[in-house]
Homo-oligomer: A and B are copies of this chain.
Amino acid sequence: MIMSRIETAPDQAQGDLTERLLAGLPAEAVLTDPDVTAAYANDMASFCPAGAPAVVVLPRTVEEVQHVMRTATELRVPVVPQGARTGLSGGANASDGCIVLSLTKMDRILEINPVDRIAVVEPGVINATLSRAVNELGLYYPPDPSSWEMCTIGGNIGTASGGLCCVKYGVTAEYVLGLDVVLADGRLMTTGRRTAKGVAGYDLTRLFVGSEGSLGIVVRAVLALKPQPPQQLVLAAEFASAAAACDAVCRIMAGGHVPSLLELMDRTTVKAVNDLAHMGLPETTEALLLAAFDTPDPAPDLAAVGALCEAAGATQVVPADDAAESELLLQARRLSLTALEAVRGVTMIDDVCVPRSRLGDLIEGVERIADKHQLTIGVVAHAGDGNTHPTVCFDAADADESRRARESFDEIMALGLELGGTITGEHGVGVLKKEWLAREIGPVGIEMQRAIKQAFDPLGLLNPGKLF
């Protein structure tokens, strides 16, 4: 319930809000038909409540975003910023009576500069669109969440997205140099820089990355780019136990290797992929490890990593000879989530990141949790980062199975914290994990996080009910 509207009849309030928004936005940018706005209620997370937006706005300019925020502040209406709604934590879910602020129409690439190695973009640019545009100039924008063909850069910034590349290239946060942000009251603030380095004042840029739209609206971003690396070459290794595969991961990282990808699929995931796609992976495979290198000469690293896998007990090591074979080996990984979804119809994807030395303990613990709750839980992991996605498969029509799914999901986070990890490596907190954030960072941490929220958004209008 919005405080300032308690005294006003809902229809009247809605009319006022729409009228005020239309004073600074074209008609086609203001959607009020409930059948239409309902489509903007959710992101892709399970188990996250969502309300009915009062209105959806689709601004195309910074000025229009400023108008939306000024209107929201005047009328005390909450605002939920959205990208492509591919998030997995409910961070973009609407609240009742809110303005959904979709940034998808602000989708221009404003500049790509190969000397400065930067791109300047609007928030609605699709990750894949940017990636391809910079590739054409010999450049590389590394962050590659699984949803990269659909998700927006603004959404990536809001959730500090990761991907397969992170083990070598890091997460979205490391590629955001500067931002233009519309604050809750509609004022425009510029943070950061377009230079390679810069330490003038507190790092507000980083504060906005991963803030899930709760501190301001990102309307422009200066992104760092890398030179396009050579095509990566992949090696697949099969293991008779997850523990052996995790041992191989530890040996590879302790050995000083810098893979461009180091992914692990557990027995459950391998079986799900086999069932879906008949890929002929051996039934005896208890874990599959995929490592890749994108250096000019990956052969020595691949050979060394192959030997480390064998030393850790790999039952088979298959290095790709070329890019095409590499793609083939990666197919199994790419199909993992689809395959796990097919098991019981719905999945709930966890995102626990542990120190990579504890990866084996995490996977063993997840097996225990799956047994206890009589559930199928497949683990796909960005193993090189210790970032696991235990994926709980369940039938949403079965209330008891759904309850067990939710319980096991929480137990996996508890286990992650026990192992010195975090409840979220790359998906964010959103609605899904807000009770868990407090558990991870403790009361002093929460108090200081709230103080920052208060400093930027004293009226609490920006994406309320998320994070805390």
Task: Give the B-binding residues of A (Cβ under 8 A).
Answer: 113-118, 138-139, 159-160, 162, 166-167, 170-171, 173-174, 183, 187-191, 193-204, 206-207, 209-211, 215, 226-228, 250, 253-254, 256-258, 295-297, 300, 353-357, 382, 384-387, 420-429, 433, 437, 440-442, 444-445, 448-449, 451-456, 467
Which residue of B183, B355, B421, B426 contacts A199 across the interface (Cβ within 8 Å)?
B426
Report the bound CA distance from A256 to B207 in whole Å: 30
Q: Which residues of B sit under 8 angstroms from A188, Cβ to Cβ?
A: 444
Which residue of B258, B441, B454 contacts A455 across the interface (Cβ within 8 Å)?
B454
CB distance from A344 to the nearest CB of B (A): 28
Q: Which residues of B sit under 8 angstroms from A449, Cβ to Cβ?
A: 201-202, 204
Inter-chain contact A204/B456, CB cutoff 8 Å: no
Inter-chain contact A451/B456, CB cutoff 8 Å: yes
Q: A200-B441, A445-B189 are in contact. Are A138 and B256 (CB under 8 A)?
A: yes
Q: Copies per complex? A: 2
CB distance from A412 to the nearest CB of B (A): 15
Q: A203-B209, A204-B445 are in contact. Are A385 and B195 (CB under 8 A)?
A: yes
Q: Using CB atoms, name the residue of chain B closest to A170.
A: B174
Inter-chain contact B166/A437, CB cutoff 8 Å: no
Inter-chain contact A199/B160, CB cutoff 8 Å: yes
7 interchain pairs, CB-CB under 8 A: A115-B357, A162-B197, A171-B197, A174-B174, A190-B442, A198-B353, A296-B297
Inter-chain contact B455/A195, CB cutoff 8 Å: no
Q: Which residues of B sit under 8 angstroms from A429, Cβ to Cβ?
A: 199-201
Inter-chain contact A116/B455, CB cutoff 8 Å: no
Report the bound CA distance from A286 to B444 in whole Å: 56
Q: Which residues of B sit under 8 angstroms from A424, Cβ to Cβ?
A: 198-200
Q: Which residues of B sit under 8 angstroms from A173, Cβ to Cβ?
A: 203, 206
Q: Using CB atoms, name the residue of chain B closest to A300.
A: B296
Report the bound CA distance from A451 to B458 in whole Å: 11
Of the candidates A162, A206, A215, A424, the one having the most CB atoms from chain B within 10 angstroms of its own CB is A206
Report the bound CA distance from A453 to B204 in whole Å: 12
Which residue of B206, B296, B425 contacts A207 across the interface (Cβ within 8 Å)?
B206
Q: Which residues of B sit under 8 angstroms from A353, Cβ to Cβ?
A: 193, 195-198
Report the bound CA distance from A116 to B429 in whole Å: 24
Which residue of B116, B190, B253 contacts A117 across the interface (Cβ within 8 Å)?
B253
Q: Which residues of B sit under 8 angstroms from A384, Cβ to Cβ?
A: 196
Q: A207-B206, A227-B257, A257-B227 are in contact. Are A198 and B422 (CB under 8 A)?
A: yes
Q: Which residues of B sit under 8 angstroms from A428, Cβ to Cβ?
A: 199
CB distance from A195 to the nearest CB of B (A): 4
Inter-chain contact B385/A189, CB cutoff 8 Å: no
User: 10 additional contacts, CB 8 Å, given A193-B353, A202-B211, A452-B452?
Assistant: A196-B386, A197-B386, A197-B426, A199-B210, A199-B426, A201-B445, A202-B210, A226-B258, A448-B456, A451-B455
Q: Using CB atoms, name the residue of chain B closest to A224.
A: B170
Inter-chain contact A196/B113, CB cutoff 8 Å: no
Nearest 9 pairs between A and B by C-beta? A227-B256, A206-B206, A451-B455, A196-B385, A198-B422, A197-B425, A115-B357, A160-B199, A195-B353
Report the bound CA distance from A355 to B356 in whole Å: 37
Report the bound CA distance from A193 to B353 in whole Å: 10
CB distance from A113 to the nearest CB of B (A): 7
Q: Using CB atoms, name the residue of chain B closest to A216.
A: B448
CB distance from A65 to the nearest CB of B (A): 15
CB distance from A417 to the nearest CB of B (A): 10
CB distance from A48 to the nearest CB of B (A): 17
Which residue of B256, B382, B437 contacts A200 across the interface (Cβ within 8 Å)?
B437
Inter-chain contact A195/B354, CB cutoff 8 Å: yes
Which residue of B200, B207, B257, B440 contacts A423 across the interface (Cβ within 8 Å)?
B200
Inter-chain contact B452/A194, CB cutoff 8 Å: no
Q: Which residues of B sit under 8 angstroms from A162, Cβ to Cβ?
A: 197
Q: Using CB atoms, name the residue of chain B closest to A355.
A: B116
Q: Which residues of B sit under 8 angstroms from A257, Cβ to Cβ?
A: 227
Of the candidates A196, A296, A425, the one having the most CB atoms from chain B within 10 angstroms of its own CB is A196
